[in-house]
Structure 1
């Protein structure tokens, strides 16, 4: 797939993760038996790209890996899903981000040890042209600043891509730039932390905080709340959708990243916000059937079948 064919370009983090599922977290110098072990790709923007590819949206990924074995494997995993990785930077001075994750079923908790990720470099050359020519650009907390810088450098051109932002983590370079964001998707916790009032004032609702984000320039705000479902606000409108049920949960690792990819896939399919939220909630829930955040991501046919079966009788 060549760059101009990408309907969506995902910009941000890609990782290679080692995962283990145990009954309980080990203590110091303790060895425990794992029920499952997996080596998988991760990263918010990269996992969103996998969802888009599985759900039929042409997609490319732009980020940075090292020239190490982890970087080669992380990109191979994306390419195997049909994600264009042609313009991802291979940087010999930066090791690929990788993590070790231990998930304990007994406590439903996880521990993560990860390499630090440096900021992404500016977008230049063919990678910049790819991003500027996309229909949508999906960014995570590290992808936003270089995308915003590029759009500001190219301000005044005939068109710009629409921007979707995964704002579950603190986003570098966001202040004063929310007007660049067409689809702003924080968690309810990160939304209220950014827009809520001081602790001694009356509590703000999530809707109050969403209204402030819209007033700051966001095109549409979607807030996620895990088992509490998700909600969307746009000028003059509001929609909600409950979390999907009836799915056997093995691990929630990466479910938020999956939600973001599925939401944008639904938007690309032309669904209204109520249906887009429903599709994203269901995709995220179904991804939790596996230890890793990718192997159980449903394609469009499986997702549609699940939603049809879950729909209430007329």
Structure 2
């Protein structure tokens, strides 16, 4: 892919080995599974797949090792229509990989993953990565990409910066919201950042503090309870407000793996197409719910046509 993508996702890409089992095995026990597969993963990479699947021009900037896993992870993204020309191949670090066991009995997952350090400064990625980032309308990053992305954006004049969305479902030490347009944690991560109770009042207060610290908008997810948005007039000049949209019901859930990543991709897909907050949350909730029909976080992600059919629009 050439040209300027509307969205560049910066952060983690992984190669995952997945197993769906009726129950978790005990020590030294062999359990026959229903499905075993190899899939791509990673918060920023999964969001990029959603955006591409829903017709947006998107690139991924991240790091892989000089190994077969890295080549496979890149090929999976490219096959979805994601521009991977800004991906860094680093012989000093392996491609992040995980073994994930999903229990049908508990509808939970157990993950064993490699430890991979935060991304290096964006200048390390080379001229193509910076070209993609500089020309984008939006950057979407995760917990490992936020540090270098924020540092780079602060080196640019404010008028030349792309808008920045952050998937904050994982802890981010030293969180800096001063350059963030859209801060998107889970409600649990949101209240934990300010050591507040995980109840309605605590969630609302944590969102207020995030806006006070510089975020222009906050979107938080709480699984089956749905999602919320809070925004200030700094987001797009319109009056500040808040909205809650319930979760989608009636989906035959196979696995929730990657659903949060998919939600963020669906949210940005709606926003870059001009959707308002209620519509963006509705589309993001539905995109994430539909992705849960498959074992991995990518296979069942709906196209825009499939999403519109599901929502009746």
**Alignment partner of 1:5: what SS?**
coil
Q: CA deviation at 1:195?
A: 2.4
Structure 1 residues 136-285: aligned runs within 5 Å: 136-154=138-156, 156=157, 158-174=159-175, 177-197=176-196, 204-235=201-232, 236-285=240-289
Is the 2:154–2:179 Cα contact (8 Å) retained in structure 1?
A: no
Alpha-carbon distance in 1 for matches of 2:165, 2:172: 13
Is the 2:252–2:293 Cα contact (8 Å) retained in structure 1?
A: yes
Alpha-carbon distance in 2 for matches of 1:160, 1:240: 29
**Alignment partner of 1:65: what SS?**
strand
The equivalent of 2:236 in structure 1 is none
Unaligned residue ranges in structure 1 (runs of 5+): 310-314
Q: Report the aligned-residue RMSD.
A: 1.6
Q: What do residues 35-58 of structure 1 show as CA deviations (whole Å, max 9, x unaligned)?
A: 011100000000000000001110
Alpha-carbon distance in 2 for matches of 1:132, 1:163: 12
**Alignment partner of 2:242: what SS?**
strand
**Alignment partner of 1:296: what SS?**
coil
Structure 1 residues 31-70: aligned runs within 5 Å: 31-70=30-69
Alpha-carbon distance in 1 for matches of 2:230, 2:200: 19
**Alignment partner of 1:83: what SS?**
coil
The equivalent of 2:17 in structure 1 is 18
Is the 2:186–2:220 Cα contact (8 Å) retained in structure 1?
A: yes
Q: CA deviation at 1:15?
A: 0.2
The equivalent of 1:312 in structure 2 is none
Is the 1:133–1:160 Cα contact (8 Å) retained in structure 2?
A: no
The equivalent of 1:297 in structure 2 is 301
Alpha-carbon distance in 1 for matches of 2:269, 2:200: 34
Q: CA deviation at 1:129?
A: 2.9
Q: What do residues 63-117 of structure 1 show as CA deviations (whole Å, max 9, x unaligned)?
A: 0000111000000000000000001001111100000001110122211111011
Q: What do residues 223-260 of structure 1 show as CA deviations (whole Å, max 9, x unaligned)?
A: 10011100000122111110011110000000000000
Alpha-carbon distance in 2 for matches of 1:308, 1:65: 40
Q: CA deviation at 1:196?
A: 4.1
The equivalent of 1:72 in structure 2 is 71
Alpha-carbon distance in 2 for matches of 1:55, 1:183: 20
Is the 1:61–1:83 Cα contact (8 Å) retained in structure 2?
A: yes
Q: CA deviation at 1:287?
A: 0.1
Is the 1:56–1:300 Cα contact (8 Å) retained in structure 2?
A: yes
Is the 1:144–1:173 Cα contact (8 Å) retained in structure 2?
A: no
Q: 1:206 to 1:23 in 2, by over 3 A?
A: same
Equivalent of residue 308 in structure 1, options 292, 301, 312: 312
Is the 2:190–2:203 Cα contact (8 Å) retained in structure 1?
A: yes
Is the 1:196–1:204 Cα contact (8 Å) retained in structure 2?
A: no
The equivalent of 1:133 in structure 2 is 135
**Alignment partner of 1:205: what SS?**
helix
Is the 1:145–1:172 Cα contact (8 Å) retained in structure 2?
A: no
Q: 1:66 to 1:303 in 2, by over 3 A?
A: same
Alpha-carbon distance in 1 for matches of 2:229, 2:41: 26
Q: CA deviation at 1:198?
A: 8.2
